[in-house]
Amino acid sequence: MGLIRTQEETGRHVRMLTHEIRSTLDRHTILKTTLVELGRTLALEECALWMPTRTGLELQLSYTLRQQNPVEYTVPIHLPVINQVFSSVRAVKISHSSPVARLRPLAVKYMPGEVVAIRVPLLHLSNFQINDWPEFPTKPYALMVLMLPSDSARQWHDHELELVEVVADQVAVALSHAAILEESMRARDLLMEQNVALDHARREAETAIRARNDFLAVMNHEMRTPMHAMIALSSLLQETKLTPEQRLMVETILRSSNLLDTLINDVLDLSRLEDGSLQLDVETFNLHAVFKEVLNLIKPVASVKKLMVTLNLAQELPVYAVGDEKRLMQTMLNVVGNAVKFSKEGSISIAAFVEKSESLRDSRAPDFFPVPSDNHFYLRVQVKDSGSGISPQDIPKIFTKFSQTQSLVTRNSGGSGLGLAISKRFVNLMGGHIWLESEGIGKGCTATFVVKLGIPGLSNESKFPFAPKVPANHGQTDFPGLKALVMDDSGVSRMVTEGLLVHLGCEVTTVSSSEECLRVVSHEHHVVFLDVCAPGIDGYELAANIREKFTRQLEKPLIIALTGDTTDKVTKENCARFGINGVLMKPVSVDKMRSTLSELWTNGFYTRPS
């Protein structure tokens, strides 16, 4: 416990003290350690720390060196001596009779030692929510009081005062670190609690959904069985000999059963649509066929009502598209069905177009911003009827579930009320929009919807199950096991194409006519090369036929058209329409064939990001 003799020693002591003080993050330890170390280094009789109270109006004796359990004296904060110390950055000598210096019992007869006091800056507490430290309008300080031993005739030396000042600062820093640590730990605990709660809530929600789905599945089945019986038996009953009244009754039973059946399906669909668990079944399908099917389904009903139904498919409408065929048909049936339902006479026209980009921004659908891209197109379907129409104020309610306006409901209409709501959800899922327009009651109605469909092509096909020998991004030099079929009516061309493919490692079969091609093509062929400009052979039709031969997506081969025509007969649109995946100009160079096969390989193996 030597006294400090020199400047260097001061420095050394400062460093040591700092190290001790900063070695802990616990507030109390910091403060206690400070006092202990100071007491030791300076051989103090007593050392104490006065902290501001919650109210900020008093200083309370919080820590002392010598006394184990200091009596909790308080002094008012605005004492002149305190103000003096607080307004100086330096250690200030104070009288030993000053209230803050009355730390020891006054049993001392001898000369009490000199006392200094220094302010210790505390954090700006408004930055942290530390609960038991009060908020202050001004910078708060604590007061450290240091007392030299009595009867020692020691005096405070400058370097000792310097030491005290440095330590006071260090204490402030250490305290701020401790405060930050406390706060971050508090925040972390809070977060953990919230996470646990969220997780719990999520699991509950999942359980609820699962339970709901299970319930629906069971109920669905349970409900369908009697429904089916009702419908089947009523139909059979209709075929028997009945009196007119009986027939009427049976027809009503049948109609109601059908309605109920539809309702059951709709409820199941809608509940899955509502919670977002419905996913579209996306596949390549024949778009034209869907329209024809809708027409076939609706014609009988329409003709009974003596309604004329016309279908108009635009020229550039692709034959094949990628999307959810079943739900697109459902939507169309719903829209067309409504048109038929609400028309007593006249005609229904169905028109389908490919939406051009300029007309995609429709003023009637202001929050709809379609973005056409290379792989997609927008299908617009418009169904016009000359039926009972809708009054303008009812139009907004049309798509809400279960709402039926009086003017729409006739005695025989029997609308389920859910159909349009579901159609709207389907259309939205397909990235589109649906709306109705009518000039008013009795003036007919036009229903329009726009949906986004994909163009069948490289990005949608993924058929190659095995990995190329060479890493794909270096370009395939070899395509072992790639089975190719070449259709060309010219012997020389056939031979050259075959030689080309064999050179690249493929297994090649050649045919010279469409019939042979259709006969020979199998699900084992990965790619078919067709000469599309051979006169007398309709390459496009052949391509369509090849695709139709295979029902499963994975079995369909990629089709590449070969053409020697320099005229642009073979366009991208034509190819898309008939399901042709690529075009090559004859004669094909080795490099071109290699890079084409390479591209197919990569696109078939990895799906191309859209």
- Residue at token pair 């709901």: 212
Beta carbon of residue 548, minimum distance to another protein (angstroms, whole number): 28
* Nearest-angstrom CA–CA distance, 578 and 318: 8
**In this structure, what are the phi and psi dihedrals at residue 111, rounded to the nearest 5 degrees?**
-70, 120
Beta carbon of residue 538, minimum distance to another protein (angstroms, whole number): 14
What's the maximum distance between 2 C-alpha atoms anywhere in the chain?
133
Which secondary-structure segment (H or E) carries 553?
none
What does the buried/exposed string (b/e) look like for 235-263 if buried means 16 or more CB atoms within 10 Å of the residue's CB?
eebeeeeeeeeeeeebeebbeebbebbbb
Beta carbon of residue 589, minimum distance to another protein (angstroms, whole number): 5
Beta carbon of residue 600, minimum distance to another protein (angstroms, whole number): 20
Looking at residue 75, its amino acid is V
Of the pair 434, 534, the CB lying nearest another protein is at 534
Of the pair 150, 509, the CB lying nearest another protein is at 509
Number of residues written out for the chain: 610
Angle separating helix axes 325-341 and 287-304, nearest 10 degrees: 20
Beta carbon of residue 484, minimum distance to another protein (angstroms, whole number): 15
Is residue 147 within 8 Å of residue 95, measured between CB atoms?
no
Beta carbon of residue 497, minimum distance to another protein (angstroms, whole number): 8
- Residue at token pair 């389907």: 426
Q: How far is CA 111 from the centre of its chain?
A: 78
Please give the C-alpha separations between residue 41 and each of 14, 16, 45, 111, in angstroms, as whole numbers.
Answer: 10, 10, 11, 22
Please give the C-alpha separations between residue 543 and each of 251, 463, 533, 565, in angstroms, as whole numbers.
Answer: 47, 17, 13, 18
| Residue 27: other Cβ atoms inside 10 A | 17
- My answer on whether omega of the bond before 300 falls inside 30° of 0, hence cis, is no
Torsion over CA: 56, 58, 63, 68 (sign): negative
Beta carbon of residue 537, minimum distance to another protein (angstroms, whole number): 11
Is residue 380 within 8 Å of residue 450, measured between CB atoms?
yes
Q: Minimal CA–CA distance to 380: which of 400, 404, 354?
A: 354
* Nearest-angstrom CA–CA distance, 165 and 159: 10
Is residue 90 within 8 Å of residue 119, measured between CB atoms?
no
Query: Which residues bind to another protein, rule: CB under 8 A?
Result: 489-493, 495-496, 499-500, 502-503, 531, 533-536, 564, 586-587, 589-590
Beta carbon of residue 593, minimum distance to another protein (angstroms, whole number): 9
Cα angle 253, 248, 241; round to 5: 100
Of the pair 392, 587, the CB lying nearest another protein is at 587
Beta carbon of residue 529, minimum distance to another protein (angstroms, whole number): 13
Beta carbon of residue 502, minimum distance to another protein (angstroms, whole number): 7
Residues paired with 561 in a beta bridge: 530, 583
Cα angle 555, 559, 562; round to 5: 160
Beta carbon of residue 567, minimum distance to another protein (angstroms, whole number): 11
Cα angle 598, 604, 605; round to 5: 90
* Nearest-angstrom CA–CA distance, 223 and 118: 86
* Nearest-angstrom CA–CA distance, 302 and 295: 10
Beta carbon of residue 500, minimum distance to another protein (angstroms, whole number): 6
